[in-house]
Copies of this chain bind each other. A is one copy, B any other.
Amino acid sequence: MSAKIRLYVEHPLGAGQSVPLDRGQAHYLFGVMRMTVGGQVKLFNGTDGEWLADVAQAGKRAGVLTCVEQTKPLQMPPDLWLLFAPIKKARTDFIVEKAAEMGAARILPVQTDFTNSERIRQDRLQAHAIEAAEQCGGTYVPQVDDLQKLSRLLDDWPEGRQLMFCDEAEVGNALQLIAQGGASRPRAEAERPPMGADGRCPAYRPGKETQPGSWAILIGPEGGFSEAERKRLHALPYSHVVSLGPRILRADTAAVAAMTLWQQTLGDW
């Protein structure tokens, strides 16, 4: 029987390596899942790939696993950050879970002019990212940052990182164009994917031989961006404005949709 359970551990992994379990993991494996000595799980720690491991000691509050063999190499996601303004709890959890599944390298909750929340539970969101990586077969866990002001992040923006800015106000433009021109409307600049300036679709380049470089996706809050924010974001030399279709998407939907477009066009899909 192949090992179905995947666990993230903060411990080096390698052939013959002993890995102690913390109390929660021991309870889950031996209490909830009823595993016993000789059972097998898969482990990953974000740096050493995925390893098959045997249960060597099983107790109620502790346990030890022994690494047998590597089952996957470390697969780093592309250098993609997801910036989003926290919303209601369940949808914020969802965005973090989805970002980890979709292959974001780092998750940055940001405070915008219209963001309601003053604080987030960084530890809880990080746990969500770990659980998503355990579920989705990933060998990497994106770091979840603490909440920071978008304006300050832009002040110290890292050189060379491109920004895909999902401006919901562009949706309105798309709507008007549809109303005016129907299906044969000219595609507005903002509707085009920000990549492939040569007119070819990068997704069709054999093997995507070019590296996408460093990117970030910014998803706005439910109330949208303020006029000052939009003005600044549009003026940034590294920002690429995209529209996500003619309907208004909730922030959690927009996050998944934007990451799909990016992964399909520039990423590892």
Contacts and interface: CB of A to CB of B under 8 A. Distances in A.
How many copies make up the complex?
2
B201 A204 contact: yes
A191 B103 CA distance: 17
A224 to B, nearest CB: 13
Contacts of A250: 101, 135-136
A208 B203 CA distance: 18
Interface string A207-227: 111010000000000000000
B256 A244 contact: no
Nearest to A269: B245
B260 A138 contact: no
B137 A248 contact: yes
A171 B101 CA distance: 13
Interface residues of A, number: 54
Nearest to A184: B207
Contacts of A253: 98, 101-102, 256
B183 A193 contact: no
A246 interface: yes
A249 interface: yes
A40 interface: no
Interface string A37-70: 0000000000000000000000000000000000
Contacts of A101: 247-250, 253
A248 B199 contact: no
Nearest to A209: B184
A245 B175 CA distance: 30
Contacts of A98: 253
19 contacts: A75-B178, A101-B253, A135-B250, A136-B247, A136-B248, A136-B250, A137-B171, A138-B247, A183-B207, A185-B207, A187-B206, A193-B264, A196-B204, A199-B204, A201-B201, A246-B269, A253-B256, A260-B260, A261-B264
